[in-house]
Amino acid sequence: MPRSLWNGTIAFGLVRVPVKLHTATESKSISFRERHLSDGAAIEHRRVCVAEDREVPYSEIVKGFEVSSGSYVMLTKEEIAAAEGPEARVIEVEHFVDGQEIDPAYYERAYYLSPGQLGDDAYRTLHSALKTSGKVGIGRFLFHGKAHLAAMRALEEVIVLHTMRFADEFVDPRELEIAIADKQPSKLEIDAARLLIDQLVSSFEPDAYENTYRAAVLGVIEQKARGEKIEVPESQQQTGEGELLSALKASLEESHVRKRRRPAGGTSRSGGKAPRSSGGTPRSSGSDQPSSKAAIHARRRTRGEG
């Protein structure tokens, strides 16, 4: 039975749905530790009082807010709690929206909700209503000391909650320096690019895209463990402006040849030779974890994350 991260209530009109929050995602990246280059020793993080130049225990540390350079306002835990108010543990559904209107950039982290105590009937009612209407509930709640905008929707048999970004967290692209083309692409180029897109259209099948890097890194780790030298191949150059159309045409020809053989998710052009020789063939599902010490260890370790 999955462990829950948070217990609370979805409030929707006068209806209360007790829920438990579970993580829906987990990172499978290889995790590293900081080590000292010269002696391989562990790196420890020590909290040091700048004035006294000595390490201080956690119990002597409080929170401060830097109001101007070097000047801090000190806040106690109680004061921060006071600002937060009583922890309501309620996700107040304010509106329902059409999920198609939500720009994907707003979605942050995904969680699964399960019914809390005596909540099965209410949970299933809300789930059915969300599923039938296809709508997404929008609300706000406090979680981990932070206010989150949340979107709730039905997925399969459960309700998914996404924490969402607030609108003012987005960077205004006008703040960036963006190079502008002095000449717009020609109709001929656009038509060729569209043809190329058509060649590459497929349906989204998440498991067609494996993380091949994990296996490649484990391969490098094994090479290093055997004392082999690691070499970095060179990279490629950009397509010149004048070559755009010919590059598109050549791509179209190439893609006609390749298309039937390798659907989306192929690794035909990536990787070079380094990873495969040591990491196994990245595509086949069982082999991204070579049968070796490092791989077994990685499996053990990645499972613990999230």
Partner 1 sequence: MARPLWSGSLSFGLVNVPVVLYSSVRDRGVHFSQLHESDGSPIQTRRVCALEEREVPWNEIVKGYEMEDGSWILLSDEDLAAAAPRKSHTIDIEAFVQEREIDPIYLDRPYLLVPENESAARAYALLGEAMGNSGRVALGRFVMRAKEHLVSIRPRGELLTLTTMRFHDEVRSSADVAAEIDAAAVPGREQIENAIAMIAELEVPFEPAGYRDEHRAHLQRLIKRKQKGQKISVASAPPKPKPKPEATPTAPDLMGALEQSLARIRGESTEAGKKKAKKTRATPPAGRPSRSSAKRSS
Q: Is 160 in the site for partner 1 (CB under 8 A)?
A: yes
Q: Is 207 exposed, middle or buried (0-12, 13-18, 19+ CB in 10 A)?
A: exposed
Q: Is 6 in the site for partner 1 (CB under 8 A)?
A: no
Among 5, 250, 277, 303, binds partner 1 (CB under 8 A): 250
d(CA 121, CA 228): 61
| φ and ψ of 115, to 5 deg | -70, 140
24-83 positions binding partner 1, by CB under 8 A: 24-30, 32-52, 56, 60-67, 72-75, 78-83
77-106 positions binding partner 1, by CB under 8 A: 78-86, 88, 90, 92-106
CB 196 within 8 A of CB 259: no
Among 6, 255, 283, 287, binds partner 1 (CB under 8 A): 255
Q: Is 202 in the site for partner 1 (CB under 8 A)?
A: yes
Q: How far is the CB of 281 from partner 1 (least distance, A)?
A: 14
The residue among 110, 119, 90 whose CA lies nearest residue 151 is: 110
Among 152, 163, 230, 280, binds partner 1 (CB under 8 A): 230
Among 6, 144, 152, 225, binds partner 1 (CB under 8 A): 225
Q: How far is the CB of 161 from partner 1 (least distance, A)?
A: 11
d(CA 301, CA 212): 17
The token pair at 46 is 């020590």
Q: Is 166 in the site for partner 1 (CB under 8 A)?
A: yes
CB 97 within 8 A of CB 135: yes
Q: Is 287 in the site for partner 1 (CB under 8 A)?
A: no
Q: How far is the CB of 6 from partner 1 (least distance, A)?
A: 14
| φ and ψ of 12, to 5 deg | -150, 105
